[in-house]
Amino acid sequence: MEGLKALFYPPRARCLGCGHPRLDGPACLCPACRDFLAKTQSSPLEVPGPWIDALFAPYPYRGAARALVHRLKYEGIGEAAALLARAMAACLPRGPIDALVPVPLHP
């Protein structure tokens, strides 16, 4: 019965950043969340000590960026992975990199 219901009343796509219904086609984010991410792209982060040369993150961990990380880590949503991967690749400097360090699921 659920399949028949979904055929006549398809679920509305929701923004991965805020959860509001998306009305603008196949994009994973609504215009407001896309704007938020475009305006909050991060620059190199403060280095915590002499053993690290540089730290990079595509966005500060808040708003739509935080929601995307949660969608990926806790819900396994692949569209969030694709968006975050593109952003991470864009924020890294060109040239050799010594290490990429994942953030653990729990402290």
pLDDT single digits (tens) 12-22: 678 899 988 87
User: Residues 101, 104, 105, CA angle at the centre, nearest 5°?
Assistant: 150
- Is there a contact between 58 and 88 (Cβ–Cβ < 8 Å)? yes
Residue 66 confidence (pLDDT): 92
> Residue range 95-105: average pLDDT?
75
SS3 77: coil
pTM value is 0.72
Round to whole Å and give the CA distance between 29 and 31.
Answer: 6
Work out the average pLDDT over 34-44.
81
Reported confidence tier of residue 55, pLDDT bands at 50, 70, 90: confident
**Does the pLDDT at position 25 exceed 80?**
no
13-to-20, 24, 58, 61, 99 alpha-carbon distances in Å: 8, 10, 25, 24, 37
